[in-house]
DNA sequence: CTTGACCCTGTAGTGACTACAGGGTGCATG
DNA sequence: CATGCACCCTGTAGTCACTACAGGGTCAAG
């Protein structure tokens, strides 16, 4: 299959597929006589893995590690578990941050009576030192 | 005050202060005879505003807009409200995404018995097309 | 007069792509 | 056979919000 069909099959942009190749996530495929990339089912599997990992928020480096581990089928699954748990911890940290952020924003917005900027509660909330200028 | 004290007072890196100046968020301050930047209380207020905005997750462009609005004290607060609400909507979208992500990750991790990679549930969950290689 | 902390400019790197510019290929239609 | 068009190629630069130098200058204390 050409890069276009592979991209379509995996909901990826063509440029992104080429970029995965450049950074070594996707092995260079065979080329046609006209120098087009020609992919097989193995490439489709690997790219699907990458995209699913990205959708789950793994970094490209984490996916690189997971791919290396997945290729070594006899190895214990412990390292995979470690990467996934570290990532979950990271997601949970971001979740906590965003939750705090959202409630702070809601509070700031709730106070705004939408008068003039001079007594805007939002602007005031952003100016921790008191009155501006 | 020098750039170092300003940075310390606002929990900002010196390089970041210079960067805010370069992108036009912070006006260029006076210079000493030795070409050092010399900041006054207005710079401190403005940088505090910027940092608080960043801590609330506003983009630099949003802060640029908010600063322009804040400088125009007679204008109605409506545009400020619009920016803040748009940002809150954005944060809430990310929050929903992350929540879904975290539960998906927890599910994947919970299934892992930590045997060999060949029957690792995590790797399998990342390979939506079935068995690898 | 030297040491060390601070400051200066300018450039390049980060992550994960995205967006061209400037070309070549392949196939169907006139 | 020529032409048009969709697709492909390489390579470079841009995104966001900084961060990290390299290679120098300034200033106060000892």
pLDDT digits (tens, 9 = 90+) for B87-103: 999 999 999 989 999 99
Asked if the model's pLDDT at residue B130 lies above 50, the reply is no
Which of the residues in chain A have pLDDT under 70? 113-116, 118, 128-133
- What's residue A129's pLDDT? 58
B118 in reach of chain A (CB within 8 A): yes
Q: Which two tokens stand for residue B69?
A: 């609005």
Asked if the model's pLDDT at residue B17 lies above 90, the reply is yes
- What's residue A70's pLDDT? 87
Cβ B127–A48 below 8 Å, yes or no?
yes
d(CA B10, CA A76): 48
Distance from CA of B4 to the nearest CA of A (A): 19
Q: Which residues of B touch A52 (CB under 8 A)?
A: 125-128
Distance from CA of A45 to the nearest CA of B (A): 6
Domain B1-56 annotated CATH 1.10.1660.10: yes
A122 in reach of chain B (CB within 8 A): yes
Q: Which residue has the higher pLDDT, B28 or B130?
A: B28
Tell me the residues of chain A between 67 and 96 that have a Cβ less than 8 Å away from chain B. Answer: 69-78, 80-81, 84-85, 87-88, 91-92, 94-95
d(CA A80, CA A66): 6
Nearby residues of A44 by Cβ (< 8 Å), 6 or more positions away: A1, A6, A9, A10, B129
Q: Hey, which residues does A116 pair with through a beta bridge?
A: B76
- What's residue B129's pLDDT? 59
Residue with minimal CA–C1' distance to D27 is B34
Among the listed residues B56, B2, B132, the one whose alpha carbon sits nearest the alpha carbon of residue A47? B132
Q: Give pLDDT tens digits for B43-100.
A: 999 999 999 999 989 999 999 999 988 888 777 788 888 889 989 999 999 999 899 9
Asked if the model's pLDDT at residue B40 lies above 50, the reply is yes
In chain B, where does the domain assigned CATH 1.10.1660.10 lie? 1-56
DSSP 3-state of A76: strand
Among the listed residues B45, B41, B52, B51, the one whose alpha carbon sits nearest the alpha carbon of residue B20? B51
Query: What's the predicted TM-score (pTM) here?
Result: 0.81
Nearby residues of A55 by Cβ (< 8 Å), 6 or more positions away: none
- What's residue A132's pLDDT? 43
d(CA B56, CA B54): 5
CA A33 to chain CA centroid, nearest Å: 35
What mean pLDDT is predicted for residues B13-17?
A: 97
């Amino acid at each position: 299959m050409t890069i276009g069909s592979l991209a379509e099959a995996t909901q990826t942009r063509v440029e992104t597929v080429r970029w995965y190749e450049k950074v070594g996530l996707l092995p260079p495929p065979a080329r046609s006589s006209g120098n087009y990339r020609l992919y097989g089912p193995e490439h489709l599997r690997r790219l699907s893995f990458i995209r699913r990992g990205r959708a789950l928020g793994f970094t490209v480096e984490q996916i690189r590690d997971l791919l290396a581990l997945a290729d070594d089928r006899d190895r214990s699954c412990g390292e995979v578990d470690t990467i996934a748990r570290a990532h979950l911890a990271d997601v949970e940290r971001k979740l906590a941050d965003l939750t705090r952020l959202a409630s702070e924003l809601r509070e700031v917005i709730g106070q705004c009576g939408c008068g003039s900027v001079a007594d805007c509660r939002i602007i005031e909330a952003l100016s921790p030192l008191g009155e501006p200028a």
